[in-house]
Structure 1
Amino acid sequence: MIQFDDLSKGFWLHNEYFPVIQRLNLTLPTGRSLALLGGNGAGKSTLLQLIAGTLPPDTGRVWSDGSISWPVGFAGSFHRDLTGAQNTRFLARVYGADTDELMDFVQDFAEIGKHFHMPIRTYSSGMRSRLTFGISMGIPFDTYLVDEVTAVGDARFRRKSAAVFRERILNSSAILVNHNLNELREYCDAAIVLHEGQLTFFSDLDEAVSRHQWNMR
């Protein structure tokens, strides 16, 4: 379960405050794979960072009764001057994972070769995404946050990523952002729609897609 209590977040630009999330009160169910739908600039990535705790709210709070991954594809919580291997070891210790097992899994999964032992600041965006996805899939979380990262890499790597992710969400919740609605239908059985600072839960994915498309008009 993830609960939002009077949650608000916005940003200042040229001395003007732009709200993104406005006094949000909502409880998301456990054990569902939720598509996160919203227009460009609606605040989907901001919401994922608020849920993960990598971005502080202006007011209110987010709390959960389970463990939550960082937003996969967002490497902001990684130390850019440490290598991929060093970041992997550090996160294994933080989340109580077996260090050797996680190292082996990530190195094999990410397929970034010698770059695994090089500083993350030298990585391309694709390599960072492979690393973050690999580490998050190697650590058991109650809820996975995924921001279109399964689109990274060639067709073979995308198939491998999809297979690993399907296995993880058999026993976990997930919140996914993906502009490809057909791909969302492969993973999600419900949805949340973010529009004008408010989040609405839909137990029916098609109903959520219809509302999202109506909002985009």
Structure 2
Amino acid sequence: MSHLNTVIRVSQLSKVYKLYDNPTDRLKESLSPLRRIYHKEFYALKDISFSVNKGETVGIIGRNGSGKSTLLKAITNVMTPTSGQVNVSGKVSALLELGAGFNPDFTGMENIYLNGSIMGFSKEEMDSKLEQILSFADIGDFINQPVKTYSSGMFVRLAFGVAINVDPEILIVDEALAVGDIRFQQKCFRKIEELQQDKTVLFVSHDIAAVNKFCNRVIWLNDGMIVEDGEPEEVAKRYQAFMINSQLKKYESMSESKEETPVRDDSYEQDIEPIDPSLDVLGDSKAKIIGISLIDAPSNEKVTVVQPGQKLKLFIKVKYNCVLRSPIIGASLKDRLGNIVTQFNSYVLDNTLDNVDENDLKDYCFEFLMPPLKSGFYSISPAVASGSQSDHVQHCWIHDALIVRMEDGQTYDLPGYMFLDGLKFRAID
């Protein structure tokens, strides 16, 4: 590709830090008449060279301490390199460490204009962008409170809202999206997908699924040097193998399935949790999902934290607003990026439901074993349709209606779509 398309060029970049065993050693070194050395040199970056072309989305991966954040600080002029050069062509908007670029004593509103002025925008230009920023951040009246009072989730909402709405030519995101809740994370990733059409994106993350989905190229750093620079899936596979072999051997084989705990009487005596009213309920409104709960089967207790192999029940409550023939009840399990891990419904389980009348209120239950997923957050999106698997009409679906956290799961991604063991379905009379 032509050099005319290069927007970031890093040439033989190094960053060396002096490490002292004792605080007084720094003074001793500066005063030593014989120029005695009291420090050790630590290379955060060592002779790094690469270029990024306009329109590329480049992922940067590596374990903690590999030099990822140091590299981004050099690219954004936050840090001065020891040697080498960084040339950037285009307006950069960076979402680095939480707090970078914001004055904690200023309100959210004041920080919006502060960041705009740093980016070179006038007050009038920021006025025109304000509605988009506030709509994306969605933090309500907190916009007029000092940001030092914000939770980390609220902070990243505002920071990302500003970063993407100042019309950057290059967007740099450094792991900040790991802070927000899963719904906001998915909203951010959808926005990044939009920006990819005509922007350049540098994306630093430990989340290999995110890197594979959004990046068309990946740079793997280790000990301040580039190990590989290439196609995402291939580089990510070798990086994961490296991480597993060097640090995570205890996770190389799946643990033997535990002896099942006897299941209590499966009558469900608790109310199904109502749907969060802030969620968008989509569909033609012939049916409406009004409740959803995830239950630990042995204890019959509601859960939001799950473990691999746990026996679960998913209850879905539906109100029908008209007569429907043979409705289909289903749900999908998605990771934090919105990737579908698995889907299931009553039709594929050969469970034909009775016709329903207007104003009918029905409860349904799926039973399954939680698959061995990566630790982290997942969402469950329920749906109601009618027809068949290949030809159906969606009457109601709710994105991310229920959020669960996988505990004690894998530390690396398992590939591909999963099928749920022990999957059963029934309508509750």
Greater Cα offset, 205-214 or 61-70:
205-214
Deviations 1:28-63 (A, max 9, x none): 222111111111211211211211112221222211
Looking at CA atoms only, which structure, 1 or 2, has the larger radius of gyration? 2
1:95 to 114, 119, 139: 119
**Displacement, 1:8?**
1.2
Greater Cα offset, 94-103 or 15-24:
94-103
State the number of aligned residues. Answer: 217
Higher strand share: 2
Q: Is the 8 A contact 1:72 1:129 kept in 2?
A: no
Tell me, yes or no, if structure 1 residue 6 matches structure 2 residue 12. Answer: yes
Deviations 1:119-175 (A, max 9, x none): 222222222211111100111112211123333433332222222221112111111
Distance 1:128 1:152 in 2: 9
- Which secondary structure does the structure 2 equivalent of 1:66 belong to? coil
Q: TM-score, normalised by structure 1?
A: 0.89
1:172-211 paired onto structure 2 within 5 Å: 172-199=199-226, 202-211=229-238
| Amino acid in structure 2 at the alignment position of 1:119 | P
Higher helix share: 1
| Amino acid in structure 2 at the alignment position of 1:133 | F
Relative to 1, partners in 2 of residues 1:68 and 1:201: Cα closer, same or farther, differing over 3 Å?
A: farther
- Which secondary structure does the structure 2 equivalent of 1:78 belong to? coil
| Amino acid in structure 1 at the alignment position of 2:51 | T
Q: Give the gaps of 5 or more residues in structure 1.
A: none
Distance 1:16 1:115 in 2: 46
Distance 1:80 1:188 in 2: 33
Distance 2:210 2:201 in 1: 14
Q: Which residue of 2 aligns with 1:65?
A: 89
Q: Is the 8 A contact 2:133 2:162 kept in 1?
A: yes
- Which secondary structure does the structure 1 equivalent of 2:93 belong to? coil
- Which secondary structure does the structure 2 equivalent of 1:3 belong to? strand
Q: Which residue of 2 aligns with 1:157?
A: 184
Distance 2:233 2:186 in 1: 25
Distance 2:84 2:118 in 1: 26
Relative to 1, partners in 2 of residues 1:78 and 1:191: Cα closer, same or farther, differing over 3 Å?
A: same
Q: Percent identity?
A: 30
| Amino acid in structure 2 at the alignment position of 1:89 | Y
- Superposed CA RMSD: 2.1
Relative to 1, partners in 2 of residues 1:207 and 1:16: Cα closer, same or farther, differing over 3 Å?
A: same
1:1-217 paired onto structure 2 within 5 Å: 1-14=7-20, 15-97=39-121, 98-199=125-226, 202-216=229-243, 217=246
Distance 1:16 1:126 in 2: 38
Q: Is the 8 A contact 1:88 1:102 kept in 2?
A: no
Q: Give the gaps of 5 or more residues in structure 2.
A: 1-6, 21-38, 247-429
Q: TM-score, normalised by structure 2?
A: 0.47
Structure with the larger RCO, 1 or 2 (CA within 8 Å, 6+ apart):
1
Deviations 1:17-38 (A, max 9, x none): 3111012222222211111111
Deviations 1:148-203 (A, max 9, x none): 33334333322222222211121111111222211222211111111222235634
Distance 1:116 1:73 in 2: 20
